[in-house]
Structure 1
Amino acid sequence: MAKKSVIARNEKRKALVEKYAAKRDQLKKAGDYEALSKLPRDSASCRVRTRCVLTGRGRGVYEKFGLCRQMFRKLALEGKLPGIKKASW
């Protein structure tokens, strides 16, 4: 489980990205990089980390499911993910 402060920081970044998205696009199209650099750093979409919705883990996350690999495996083996089954050949 990730620290609550790390998860909260990422949520704050998501909010900033959403808030400044239109303004950033407008400044990029205008080519005004001076004004773009004065916006908050965390308003850039590349600063947001994809995290597991259950544990907050930041690595090994399947974006399609929003789960880290450990939770994905656990839920898949329990049959809680519809359409997912263990491969065998």
Structure 2
Amino acid sequence: MAKRCMVNREIKKAKTVKKYAAKRAELKKQMLDMSLTAEQRETASKKFHSLPRNASPSRLRNRCEITGRPHGYYRKFGLSRNKLREHAMKGDIPGLVMASW
């Protein structure tokens, strides 16, 4: 199980990303718009770089919904490999069957 502080930190980052998503998109659009003057683009760039670092979606880390484990994460299920295996064996995940031959 991951430390609670690490999981809470990720939740806080996700909220920050969501909060600044529209503003980041607008500033990025202005920075790349060649119809604007160089000064306007530079102003947009300065505003963009003044946003919090944690507002960037690339700073998020995928973690298991149950344990908070960052490694062995399956996006499709939102679980780490350990918990995915446990739930698959119980039959909790519809459509997922463990391989046997």
Aligned partners of 2:84 and 2:45: how far apart in 1? 41
Partner of 1:23: 23
Larger radius of gyration: 2
- Offset at residue 63 of structure 1 (A): 1.0
Answering whether residue 55 of structure 2 is matched by residue 43 of structure 1, we say: yes
Q: Which amino acid in the other structure matches residue 50 of structure 2?
A: K
- Offset at residue 88 of structure 1 (A): 2.7
Q: Which amino acid in the other structure matches residue 88 of structure 1?
A: S
Deviation track 1:21-54 (CA, whole Å, cap 9, x = no partner) reads: 0000000000022211100000000011111000
Report percent identity of matched pairs.
Answer: 45
Structure 1, unaligned runs of 5 or more: none
Answering whether residue 12 of structure 2 is matched by residue 12 of structure 1, we say: yes
Structure 1 stretches (4+) deviating beyond 2 angstroms? none
For residue 82 of structure 2, give the secondary structure of its aligned residue in structure 1: helix
Structure 2, unaligned runs of 5 or more: 32-43
1:58 to 59, 65, 70: 70
Aligned partners of 1:77 and 1:65: how far apart in 2? 15
Answering whether residue 83 of structure 2 is matched by residue 80 of structure 1, we say: no
For residue 54 of structure 1, give the secondary structure of its aligned residue in structure 2: coil
Aligned length: 89
Answering whether residue 76 of structure 2 is matched by residue 67 of structure 1, we say: no
Aligned partners of 2:45 and 2:13: how far apart in 1? 21
Q: Which amino acid in the other structure matches residue 61 of structure 1?
A: Y
